[in-house]
């Protein structure tokens, strides 16, 4: 979708900067910058904002050959962000009836070509409408049956649907999920019992067939849990200027290391590093690193690279 970012409270007017956004788009850009081949599948409107989305993705070396331009009059989705207090940002969504809400199984399934290693999607897609929810379920089912690793980031958006609606829609996806990513407050959405403890939820997910659960803990880092072991990693200490997109950057780093065959600790290390780039720069994806930039946080403050 398109994104308009305000430099002050929206009701006061002021300047807006036009860009693109979307959790899956952010992850796609993050992976492409780290040197991976990435394909983005979705729908945009037959409008200038849709053209901006596709142009931006192509500029980031992402394959948009399976993207669909909706010719029925549905517009490209839009979000508005505004800074409120410190790093707290308020987001307003305009996605009802958007082109993205009409994405269908027939749009998505042809993109799961031989050689695809990972399918990544989030809990945002099924929140957009019945067609999008059907597409998400069809995609994870087909991918799992084909041996493609399915990564599902819960990514709950309370302005799009309630926790109960999210839980009802996400549970069927989990039967085909290999890697589940959730923040601490989102994890209960993955179980029918919202009062279950974290350890109970993780044990239940692993017993149901999820092979790995990654819990994002914000400024306290993250934890990865499998049937064979657990790893924890503290967050990198950086000056945070914009928290939007940090979770997507984390997922991009984690999947990048996973694709390279790294162990749990190394996957978490890259994930918290890419997340640190996101929070230390403004924008959802603009500050994400290339692979040769991953070591920048290991340089002393004030270093000039010549």
**Active site residues per annotation:** 248
The token pair that represents 73 in the structure block: 């009059």
Strands 179-183 and 149-153: parallel
CB 272 within 8 A of CB 235: yes
DSSP one-letter string for 170-209:
HHHHHTT-SEEEEETTTGGGGSS-TT--HHHHHHHHHHHT
**Cα 288 from Cα 286, distance rounded (Å):** 6
Q: Nearest to residue 173, comparing CAs of 197, 202, 207, 208?
A: 208
The crossing angle, in degrees rounded to 10, of helices 246-259 and 23-33 is 50
CA angle 31, 32, 38 (to 5 degrees): 90
Looking up tokens 């952010």 gives: 26
Query: For residues 148 and 181, is the Cβ–Cβ distance under 8 A?
Result: no
Helix locations, the chain, DSSP H: 23-33, 48-59, 105-108, 130-145, 163-174, 198-208, 246-259, 264-280
């Amino acid at each position: 979708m398109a994104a308009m970012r305000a430099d002050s409270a929206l009701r006061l007017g002021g300047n807006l900067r036009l860009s693109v956004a979307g959790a899956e788009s952010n992850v796609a850009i993050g992976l492409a910058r780290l040197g991976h081949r990435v394909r983005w599948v979705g729908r945009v409107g037959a409008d200038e904002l849709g053209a901006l989305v596709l142009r931006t993705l192509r500029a980031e070396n992402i394959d948009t050959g399976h993207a669909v331009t909706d010719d029925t009059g549905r517009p490209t989705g839009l979000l508005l962000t505004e800074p409120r207090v410190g790093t707290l940002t308020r987001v307003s969504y305009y996605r009802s009836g958007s082109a993205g809400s009409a994405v269908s199984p027939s749009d998505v399934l042809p993109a799961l070509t031989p050689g695809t290693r990972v399918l990544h999607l989030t809990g945002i897609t099924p929140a957009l409408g019945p067609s999008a929810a059907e597409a998400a379920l069809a995609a994870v089912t087909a991918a799992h049956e084909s041996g493609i690793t399915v990564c599902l980031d819960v990514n709950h958006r309370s302005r799009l649907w309630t926790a109960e609606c999210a839980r009802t829609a996400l549970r069927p996806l989990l039967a085909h999920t290999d890697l589940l990513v959730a923040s601490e407050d989102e994890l209960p959405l993955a179980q029918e019992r919202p009062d279950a403890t974290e350890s109970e939820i993780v044990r239940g997910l692993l017993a149901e067939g999820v092979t790995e659960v990654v819990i994002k803990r914000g400024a306290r880092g993250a934890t990865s849990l499998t049937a064979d072991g657990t790893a924890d990693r503290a967050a990198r200490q950086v000056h945070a200027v914009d928290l939007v997109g940090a979770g997507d950057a984390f997922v991009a780093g984690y999947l990048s290391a996973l694709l390279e065959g790294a162990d749990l600790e190394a996957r978490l290390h890259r994930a918290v590093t890419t997340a640190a780039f996101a929070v230390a720069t403004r924008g959802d994806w603009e500050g994400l690193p290339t692979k040769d930039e991953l070591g920048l946080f290991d340089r002393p403050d004030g270093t000039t690279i010549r």
